[in-house]
């Protein structure tokens, strides 16, 4: 059985992942997107917990002297598969060509990867990935909107969308 210190370390990694996922989720929540603050926090924490538990299992098996063969990427693949299922639920196709939720699905994938980084013990990588994600979701969204207004002959009316664009800044 893993000791309490190892379990406490996994909980700390989960809490850090929740904080980072929550920062991204808050941005999604403010924009009233399908998956917001709590969802992003939980996805990041689940990814951190799963990878942290994988590390604990390896340490436990190593202490018993058992020789094991394991592919550490399988756990990450399982996290990504689960998030893909959740992300698909955030994407809704409407009549016409408008698609909603793609950016939110991508942000869920990103918080899962950030959670994996936390679970594997890469806090700076996770923190910088969170900062870069927030740059993409906020600053680049603003730039995209400004450029769209300049290219459009008339400003879009409420409920009117451009056929080739996604509606999920």
Q: Give the model confidence (pLDDT) of 34-76 as tens digits.
A: 788 999 999 999 999 999 988 888 777 767 766 666 677 788 8
On whether the CB atoms of residues 25 and 39 are closer than 8 A, the answer is yes
CA dist list (Å): 67 to 20, 59, 63: 36, 12, 10
Q: Is residue 168 part of a domain?
A: no
Q: Is residue 157 part of a domain?
A: no
Q: Are 111 and 43 in contact (CB under 8 A)?
A: yes
Q: Which two tokens stand for residue 52?
A: 């942290």
In a domain, 166, yes or no: no
DSSP, collapsed to helix, strand or coil, labels residue 65 as: coil
Calculate what percentage of the chain has a pLDDT beyond 70. 80
18 lies in which domain range?
4-150
Whether the pLDDT of residue 129 is over 70: the answer is: yes
Task: Tell me how many domains the chain contains.
Answer: 1
- Structural domain includes residue 165: no
Please check whether residue 155 lies inside any domain of the structure. Answer: no
Which pTM value belongs to this model? 0.79
- CB count within 10 Å of CB 14 equals 22
How far apart CA 70 and CA 23 sit, in angstroms, is 34
CA distances from residue 151 to 100, 111, 147 in whole angstroms, order as listed: 21, 33, 6
């Amino acid at each position: 059985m893993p000791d309490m210190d190892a379990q406490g370390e996994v909980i700390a990694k989960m809490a850090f992942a929740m904080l980072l996922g929550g920062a991204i989720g808050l941005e999604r929540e403010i924009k009233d997107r399908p998956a917001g603050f709590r969802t992003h926090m939980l996805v990041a924490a689940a990814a951190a917990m799963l990878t942290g538990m994988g590390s604990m299992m390896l340490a436990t098996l190593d202490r018993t002297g058992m020789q094991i063969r394991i592919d550490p990427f399988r756990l990450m693949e399982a996290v990504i598969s689960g998030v893909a299922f959740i992300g698909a639920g955030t994407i809704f196709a409407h009549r016409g060509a408008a698609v909603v939720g793609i950016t939110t699905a991508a942000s869920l994938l990103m918080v899962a990867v950030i959670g994996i980084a936390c679970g594997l013990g890469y806090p700076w990588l996770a923190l910088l990935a969170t900062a870069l994600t927030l740059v993409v979701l906020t600053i680049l969204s603003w730039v995209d909107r400004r450029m769209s207004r300049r290219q459009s002959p008339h400003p879009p009316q409420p409920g009117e969308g451009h056929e080739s664009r996604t509606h999920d800044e």
